[in-house]
Structure 1
């Protein structure tokens, strides 16, 4: 029998079966995340299912991140209900202002190599950067996990994404992810796993890998998973006391297709409104006016991202007149690090509006909302109409450096061409 992919091996381990692509399996979940965008409905399902107790509260995490700060009496009440439920059953709860749930799962060592980590939010795929099978689930699935600690999955086929070379100066992980989205399309990896491989993987920092895993769902993928290496172990050091067993694919594992990306041949990319796979070389959109620049989200709101943006802003002489710069760190840990190294003060000095750590403007539920006719360039992962709370705005997606370059000129600009 043919060898197995990373996904097949992890789901075999968690189900106790010889899991192969296409099989239905019931798996024990190592950790499940719920947010204020999904837990309230999950609690309704929990009650409807006759739930009176939580099977394993230590494996559950709640995060208040989509409504930070709360925007109405209704959202305040949702937060109260979540806090009360978490306190009653001993569930870890990250309160409003601590950050985006996905970032907190990673920072607190909840996503470990070889594990099965799910979240009632589609961007739970982010954790796959740490060599775990990570995927989004529905609120009813989360309720079932509260009750029995398990979930069912169809084992996905896998697409092998081979990375070669090394990113040149001025090109970033977001450019890799957008190039891949442009090649595969928004549904080109539907219910398949993107399994990253090749010598280029070793050139990417863990924070870089998080970007690629995060964008996997934008291609329809069930998960986006990396092999574990020294970078993985180094990131987890001090974040977890648990032991873990990394998983690698067999040499004769079967893939539905193989896609090769030469990192050293890439140039800056941008996704045009209103489709994440409407990707072009950034130079082809250069000069397009923008009025708002957004730095943040579970895709581009980490310390490394803000450092890249700061460098470009400083090189370009700051923010151009008429441009609104909005900054939302992905977590309090990141915000504190930005404060400690001067990045936060530098961005404020450029006139940035700084929002509490959380999802912010990304999904339009809180934070700064763009006005009618405004063109936004963002480090986020989605740009469909209405995504940031206003269907009359247009959203471009690019790397933190490219977004910062646009801020300095008031138009889409190649970050490699920004200088005083």
Structure 2
């Protein structure tokens, strides 16, 4: 019986063939911490009596949630990670001098590589599966175990094969594909499963779209999301100084899947996830008909803060103005993206339209700072979660959408079809 790509990655690391359901101990290629979760890991590391990291060059701390610090508490929280990084002379420590949202920054730096096993104390670590790696979120104490031993325990997940068919229509992106899948299977439809994304649609998706697709695998309860390496992946990697030699794994034709889901992308319109679950997806045409005024538009996050998102938004708002009663916040995912967007004129276009552009941060997405919603306010966001109180007041509402729809909505002052705005 054949193996899935996820089973092959684990087999390669363990040194023998493994199958879904097995519990294994596996060496880690990269451990990722951030300024919120890493202090707990550091405490557990110290309480264990450990003095040094098992694999210091395979551990990265990215200060991305509350940096620059918003208050004394967040400053003190950040200090714990900084002190630890300096104490251990950490090679991969990314603070204000080299800012970025972790799941955009590490691929940009070549620190996550095809064939890797990656863990992070952040649920959206599954983003890195877009590079043909196994990547999953774990708890802070699990992270500490990895810091101490260089390995961790896993139950090899069963796989769900998702087949996307057809070429996406205009203004339909990776974000819409994953929102449609979650709408179909629910927020627990892939619980502790690997979501393996396949089909001829994949060849039409940029790496930015693929990162968005894998990023939200966790919103269906998945252990990981993964896409096999192809020429588009290799093109993305070719200018990177990769931390390791990449390994390309592909599922066998007779690999075993617990479920297969097929989605006709050719007939899919942009999907809007209504409050208060990512699975509450509606077609854009219904959202437009519902005439939903928005107080705030947010474009950014580890899901949709990449260069293509800023390009899409800038194209739509160029020569126009954000609606009088609407705020527009744009957060580039890394400083490199910010600089490139500035060079290409996207930043000027967005600011001229009335947007405010912030430093790279997760702040608005998790309701931390840089875009908190007040009582009863409605926001359309390119983020990954629209839970009650996710971006601020518990009575606020979050609608998830792609960057084109978000930008069009900023101009219209209500959820809008970009074809009617551009």
Query: Taking structure 1 as the reference length, what is the TM-score of the superposition?
Result: 0.97
How far has the Cα of 1:310 moved from its partner? 1.4
Structure 1 match to 2:81:
82
Structure 1 match to 2:208:
207
How far has the Cα of 1:264 moved from its partner? 1.1
* C-alpha separation in 2, matches of 1:343 and 1:15: 46
* C-alpha separation in 2, matches of 1:295 and 1:274: 19
Structure 2 match to 1:94:
94
Cα deviation, 1:368-409, whole Å, max 9, x if unaligned, reads 211111100000000001111321211000000001111111
Structure 2 match to 1:306:
310
Q: Is residue 44 of structure 1 aligned with residue 43 of structure 2?
A: yes
* C-alpha separation in 2, matches of 1:52 and 1:211: 37
Partner SS, residue 323 of structure 2? coil
Alignment check: 8 A CA contact 2:173 2:205 kept: no
Q: Is residue 401 of structure 1 aligned with residue 404 of structure 2?
A: yes
Partner SS, residue 126 of structure 1? helix
* C-alpha separation in 2, matches of 1:159 and 1:90: 41
Alignment check: 8 A CA contact 1:123 1:136 kept: yes
How many residue pairs are counted as aligned between the two chains? 417
* C-alpha separation in 1, matches of 2:47 and 2:18: 31
1:216-255 mapped onto 2 (5 Å cutoff)? 216-241=217-242, 242-255=244-257
Select 1:280's aligned residue among 279, 282, 291.
Answer: 282
Partner SS, residue 318 of structure 2? helix
Select 2:364's aligned residue among 351, 354, 361.
Answer: 361
Alignment check: 8 A CA contact 2:329 2:357 kept: yes
Cα deviation, 1:188-232, whole Å, max 9, x if unaligned, reads 000000001122111111111001000110000011100101111
Alignment check: 8 A CA contact 1:70 1:366 kept: no
Structure 1 match to 2:57:
58
Alignment check: 8 A CA contact 1:328 1:360 kept: no
How far has the Cα of 1:262 moved from its partner? 1.8
Cα deviation, 1:244-297, whole Å, max 9, x if unaligned, reads 110000110000111112221110110001111000111112111111000100
Structure 2 match to 1:324:
327
How far has the Cα of 1:312 moved from its partner? 1.6
How far has the Cα of 1:35 moved from its partner? 0.4
Structure 2 unmatched runs, 5+: none
Structure 2 match to 1:266:
268
Alignment check: 8 A CA contact 1:69 1:366 kept: no
Q: Is residue 294 of structure 1 aligned with residue 298 of structure 2?
A: yes
1:118-137 mapped onto 2 (5 Å cutoff)? 118-137=119-138
Select 1:348's aligned residue among 332, 348, 351.
Answer: 351
Alignment check: 8 A CA contact 1:294 1:403 kept: yes
Q: Please, what is the CA RMSD of the aligned residues? A: 1.2
* C-alpha separation in 1, matches of 2:99 and 2:296: 25
* C-alpha separation in 1, matches of 2:315 and 2:265: 22
Structure 1 unmatched runs, 5+: none
Alignment check: 8 A CA contact 1:68 1:367 kept: no
Partner SS, residue 330 of structure 1? coil
* C-alpha separation in 2, matches of 1:30 and 1:377: 36
Alignment check: 8 A CA contact 2:306 2:333 kept: yes
Cα deviation, 1:298-349, whole Å, max 9, x if unaligned, reads 001001011111112227x231111100111110011001111110111111
Alignment check: 8 A CA contact 1:98 1:332 kept: yes
Structure 1 match to 2:181:
180
How far has the Cα of 1:82 moved from its partner? 0.9
Partner SS, residue 395 of structure 2? coil
Structure 2 match to 1:334:
337
* C-alpha separation in 1, matches of 2:113 and 2:147: 20
Select 1:390's aligned residue among 389, 393, 402.
Answer: 393
Partner SS, residue 365 of structure 1? coil
Alignment check: 8 A CA contact 1:291 1:410 kept: yes
Cα deviation, 1:42-62, whole Å, max 9, x if unaligned, reads 011111211111111000000
Instruction: After superposing the two structures, state which structure 1 stretch, 252-261 or 65-74, moved more.
Output: 65-74
Query: Taking structure 2 as the reference length, what is the TM-score of the superposition?
Result: 0.97
